[in-house]
Amino acid sequence: MDHALSLWPSPSTDGILNLAFAGLAEESSNLTIELFDAMGRTAYSKSLFVTEGNWTGSLVLPADLPSGIYTVRAHDGRTQWTGRWALQR
């Protein structure tokens, strides 16, 4: 099974992060998405309940999340995905 993560737009100017996952567990599972700042601190975290092997969605991030380059990490208890994403306010 292909395990892939797509993040867009990068940079984002409106604080919306679009994500697409491939390779999620076929059964229902919790998907945790975390953003880490350049210092490795957790800047945002959200858990979602997903019921498919692939998932596409958007996160509206807090207005006080500062501009910067973020590491996006997601995991469903079985697989972990990592990507980089930029926010430019």
Residue ranges and CATH numbers for the domains of the chain are 4-87 (2.60.40.3080)
Average pLDDT over residues 56-67: 95
Question: CA 80 to CA 87: how far, in whole Å?
Answer: 22
**Average pLDDT for the chain:** 90
User: Does residue 40 register a pLDDT over 60?
Assistant: yes
User: Does residue 60 register a pLDDT over 90?
Assistant: yes
Q: How many residues does the chain have?
A: 89
Q: What is the pLDDT of residue 28?
A: 67
Chain segment 67-86, per-residue pLDDT in tens: 999 999 998 888 889 999 99
Question: CA 59 to CA 46: how far, in whole Å?
Answer: 9
